[in-house]
Structure 1
Amino acid sequence: MKALEEKILKEGIVKEGNVLKVDNFLNHQIDVAFLDKMGAEFKRLFSEKKITKILTIEASGIGVAVMTSKHFNDVPVVFAKKAKTSNIADELYHTRIDSYTHQKTNDVVVSKQYLNQDDHVLIVDDFLANGCAIIGLIDLVQQAGATVEGIGIVIEKGYQEGGSKIRKLGYHLESLAIIESMNDQTCEITFRK
């Protein structure tokens, strides 16, 4: 998605440790109109799929998932919670996910009432680096006996193993922008052609 690459170059900040800061439009402050365009692009990329649920993980994937849902006739969005709260059902699917950004492991849950064997799931998230979050979300879908129809990522760090790992597993993975390299000294970002 050329418009996303341009927005990253204009507004993104490369930080030490291979961190791309895009919190002014994606994962802190949200540019709703731009997220809507990304949702439309995910619809185009997965238009041949029968999607009954969109699954993401809290918190940064929620906005993208909601805007994508608009383009899939408002199918429900389910987000995996990083902790069991008192107001969530006792019947849960559970997995553990290592967070690249936060450098910790999260226990992640989804209520069994929101994901079942009849669901055809589009997994959506803001970033793909080492693939742990996506592997965890795939695990939750498999526990439910549901079908992963595709995986939509806003920004993939192509120089890390996540994208390659997911594709080797045979999943239909589409990333709107794939970063080939970043340099925190020069702030240069190179995208995959």
Structure 2
Amino acid sequence: MELLKQRIIEEGVILSDQVLKLDGLLNHQVDPQLTMEMGREFAARFKESGITRVLTVESSGIAVAFATAYELGVPLVFARRKKTLLAEEDAYCERVPSFTKGIVTDIMLSRQYLKSEDRVLFIDDIIANGDAARGLIKIIERSGAELVGLGIVIEKCFQAGARTIREQGITLESLVKIESLTNGTITFGE
């Protein structure tokens, strides 16, 4: 998506050779038109897959996952990172480290919203080390649902997350691939 690449160049802030801050696009502020365009793109890539649910992890993946679910005409379900007073005791739960936050969190998903007959598309904003993705994949597997694929807005190719997911035989589609953030320059991949 050339539009997305242009917006990343214009609004992304390189904090280190590992971290790109995208608060103006994905993580703090959301551009509704761009987000809907990303949702249309993911829906087009997975439209023939018989998806029954779009799944993400709160919070930065929710907007793009919503746009994708809307385009596919299916429900959006998101795993929570914090237990609430209303959380089910027997919800699916996985401990996952967060590269960006530098902490380990639990992701939880109500059994009510993920059934064995579901065909799931997992949408997320960025994949770095892939820990959150692997945690959610484990939850999907435990539920008996079928993971159709992953749609990732930005793939950091210089970190192992996407590669290790693909090595498991899982389809992973990225809208933009970033090869490097070295010397304060964003280098895109194919």
Q: TM-score normalised to the size of structure 1?
A: 0.95
Preserved CA contact (<8 Å) 2:17 2:181:
no
In 1, the alpha carbon distance for the partners of 2:132 and 2:68 equals: 19
2:178 partner amino acid: I
| Residues 90 and 111 in structure 1, CA contact (< 8 A), matched pair in contact too | no
Structure 2 partner of 1:19: 19
- Partner of 2:185 in structure 1? 188
Shift of 1:91: 2.5
Q: Aligned pair 1:70/2:67, yes or no?
A: no
When the two chains are superposed, the root-mean-square deviation of aligned CA atoms in Å is 1.0
Residue type of the alignment partner of 1:191: F
Provide the rounded CA distance (Å) in 2 between the counterparts of 1:11 and 1:68.
23
**Which stretches of structure 1, 4 residues or more, deviate above 4 A after TM superposition?**
none
- Distance in 2 separating the partners of 1:70 and 1:81: 20
TM-score normalized by the length of structure 2: 0.97
Kindly indicate whether the alpha-carbon contact (under 8 Å) linking 1:119 and 1:146 is maintained by their aligned counterparts in 2.
Answer: yes
Give the aligned partner of residue 35 of structure 2: 35
Q: Residues 14-68 of structure 1: CA distance to partner in whole angstroms, max 9, x if unpaired? A: 1125111111121100001100000000011112111111110011011111111
Per-residue deviation at 1:157? 0.3
Task: Determine if the alignment matches structure 1 residue 45 to structure 2 residue 45.
Answer: yes
> In the alignment, is the contact (CA less than 8 A) between 1:39 and 1:65 conserved in 2?
yes
**Alpha-carbon separation, structure 1, partners of 2:8 and 2:25:** 9
CA–CA separation in structure 1 for the residues paired with 2:51 and 2:45:
12
Q: Which amino acid aligns with 1:166?
A: I
How many residues are treated as equivalent by the alignment? Answer: 190
Write the mapping of 1:1-193 to structure 2, written as runs, cut at 5 A.
Answer: 1-16=1-16, 18-73=18-73, 75-183=74-182, 185=183, 187-193=184-190
Deviations 1:89-128 (A, max 9, x none): 2221111111000111111110110101011000000000
Give the secondary structure class of the aligned counterpart of 1:133. helix
Write out per-residue CA displacement over residues 135-183 of structure 1, whole angstroms, 9 at most, x where no aligned residue: 0110110111000001000001001101110000000100000100003
In 2: Cα distance, 1:116 partner to 1:17 partner: 40
